[in-house]
């Protein structure tokens, strides 16, 4: 150790001294307060790392992320071992902070809330260790500083993997394209709302940016008061500017990881997938839901390979907690083949219908039956 201190003598409390959480201020004699600080924050940091590791391991099944968090726990222990006397300095009964808490500490809405709180706790604890350890062991302080920067990165990666606070599982999402509509597009959108669609995706490949933004804002204004989500195809910038609920991208669009970084905490992100490898990559990049398909041949997209219902069954089995939308050539006649489907995305069969509301209502009923059917 490079630091020496005079022991702190125990002093009797005065009657006029403040009280915390109903207890008089406590005094600990002959214990180095810096060692107590480092020890307490070491415990706090290890606990935070364990909480994050369990989410990576059991919630996400992410071997790489859980392994890194485990390595960080061991690295922290190694650094703290450079400072003798930590455990001996521990005085939990004499710690005035054990009875101090805030209301937010007792409330967690989701796993993401739990891990977010753990990540913040980790960075705060590591910073405290780093600063106070400089007076005892500069080597340990330097190692903890490097761990702190690793912690910032792993907190971000874990948050992105966990996705949005609320991941909706839509039942029927209509891909709205004006050129496919036999009626004005806003009338078609209204029919989708009346028929029970819970999401409308604006899919206009040829509109200029300004016109697309105007249309997205009109659609948001029309849908969101009715509780219907709006997703913009391909364009995260338009989704954010219009106040849409999400953006959907394909395999040839902007990289999912970059779109997630742009939209995280601001809107949902969906990714089209046609195999388990693509789905796994999309989920690792932070997709809130996956498009799964194509299920059948479709006139709206030229797909050389039709993966079919078998891929849907595999997706649901591998990723039961990730919302999905089966897509590609789905009609009221064949939707019954999609056993286990919780949601579908449809386009021309609704946009080109004389009665969009009726078609959407038929899909809603059919999907509810398909979701209840065995997926095997």
pLDDT in tens, 21-43: 333 334 444 678 999 999 999 99
pLDDT in tens, 140-151: 999 999 999 999
The residues pairing with 270 across neighbouring beta strands, listed in sequence order, are 248, 289
Phi, psi values for residue 364, rounded to 5°: -60, -45
> Which region holds residue 183: left if phi is over 0, alpha if psi is between -120 and 50, else beta?
beta
Closest CA to 374 of 294, 318, 322, 313: 313
Print the SS3 string covering the chain: CCCCCCCCCCCCCCCCCCEECCEECCCCCCCCHHHHHHHHHHHHHHHHHHHHHHHHHHHCCCHHHHHHHHHHHHHHHHHHCCCCCCCCCCCCCCCHHHHCCCHHHHCCCCHHHHHHHHHHHHHHHHHHHHHHHCCCCHHHHHHHHHHHHHHHHHHHHHHHHHCCCCCCCCCEEEEECHHHCCCCHHHHHHHHHHHCCCEEEECCCCCCHHHHHHHHHHHHHHHHHHCCEEEEECCHHHHHHHCCCEEEECCCCCCHHHHHHHHCCCCEEEEEECCHHHHHHHHHCCCCEEEECCCCCCCCCCCCCCCHHHHHHHHHHHCCCCCEEEECCCCCCCHHHCCCCCCEEECHHHHCCCCHHHHHHHHHHHHHHHHHCCCC
* pLDDT at residue 114, rounded to an integer: 93
Which of 331, 316, 325 has its CA nearest to residue 366? 331
* Per-residue pLDDT, 1: 42
Give the least confident one: 85-89, 201-205, 227-231, 348-352.
85-89
| Terminal CA-CA length for the chain | 64
- Where does 19-162 sit in CATH, by number? 1.20.1260
Domain layout of the chain by residue ranges: 19-162, 172-372
CA distance 157 to 159: 5
Out of 57, 186, 301, 303, pick the active-site residue: 301
Q: 319 with 155: CB under 8 angstroms?
A: no
Active site residue 167: no
pLDDT for residue 20: 36
- Counting Cα atoms < 13 Å in the Cβ hemisphere of 215 gives 24
Q: Is the backbone of residue 254 left (phi > 0), alpha (psi -120 to 50) or beta?
A: beta
Task: Identify the CATH homologous superfamily for domain 172-372.
Answer: Aldolase class I (3.20.20.70)
- Higher pLDDT: 233 or 14? It is 233
Phi and psi dihedrals of 325, rounded to 5? Answer: -130, 115
Q: Which of 203, 215, 260, 313 is catalytic?
A: 203
User: What is the phi-psi region of residue 97: left when phi exceeds 0, alpha when psi lies from -120 to 50, beta otherwise?
Assistant: alpha
pLDDT in tens, 68-119: 999 999 999 999 999 999 988 988 888 888 777 666 666 777 888 899 999 9
Instruction: Say whether 301 is catalytic.
Output: yes
Taking residues 122-135, what's their average pLDDT?
A: 97
Percent of the chain at pLDDT > 70 equals 87
How far is Cα 282 from Cα 358, in angstroms, rounded to an integer? 34
Of residues 79, 89, 242, 272, which has the active-site annotation?
A: 272
């Amino acid at each position: 150790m490079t630091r020496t201190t005079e022991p702190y003598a125990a002093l009797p409390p005065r009657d006029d001294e403040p009280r915390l959480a109903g207890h008089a201020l406590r005094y600990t004699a002959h214990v180095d307060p810096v060692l107590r600080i480092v020890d307490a924050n070491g415990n706090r940091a290890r606990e935070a790392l364990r909480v994050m590791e369990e989410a990576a391991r059991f919630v996400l099944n992410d071997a790489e992320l859980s392994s890194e968090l485990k390595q960080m726990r061991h690295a922290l222990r190694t650094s703290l071992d450079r400072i003798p006397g930590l455990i001996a300095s521990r005085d939990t009964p004499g710690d005035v902070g054990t009875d101090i808490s805030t209301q937010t500490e007792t409330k967690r809405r989701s796993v993401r809330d739990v891990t977010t709180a753990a990540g913040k706790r980790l960075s705060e604890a590591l910073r405290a260790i780093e600063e106070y350890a400089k007076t005892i062991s500069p080597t340990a302080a330097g190692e903890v500083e490097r761990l702190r920067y690793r912690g910032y990165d792993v907190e971000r990666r874990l948050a992105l993997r966990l996705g949005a606070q609320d991941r909706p599982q839509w039942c029927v999402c209509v891909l709205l394209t004006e050129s496919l509509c036999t009626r004005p597009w806003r009338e078609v959108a209204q029919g989708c709302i009346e028929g029970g669609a819970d999401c409308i995706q604006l899919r206009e490949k040829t509109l200029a940016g300004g016109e697309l933004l105007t249309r997205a804002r009109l659609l948001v204004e029309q849908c969101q008061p009715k509780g219907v989500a709006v997703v913009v195809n391909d364009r995260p910038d338009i989704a954010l500017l219009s106040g849409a609920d999400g953006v959907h991208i394909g395999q040839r669009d902007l990289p999912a990881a970059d779109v997630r970084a742009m939209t995280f905490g601001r809107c949902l992100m969906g990714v089209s997938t046609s195999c388990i490898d693509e789905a796994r990559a999309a989920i690792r990049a932070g997709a809130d839901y996956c498009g799964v398909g194509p299920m059948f041949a479709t006139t709206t997209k030229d797909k050389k390979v039709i993966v079919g219902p078998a891929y849907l069954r595999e997706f649901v089995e591998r990723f039961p907690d990730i919302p999905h939308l089966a897509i590609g050539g789905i009609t009221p006649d064949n939707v019954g083949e999609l056993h286990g489907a919780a949601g579908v995305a449809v386009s021309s069969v609704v946009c080109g219908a004389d009665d969009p509301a009726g078609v959407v209502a038929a899909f809603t009923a059919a999907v509810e039956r398909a979701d209840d059917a065995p997926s095997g």
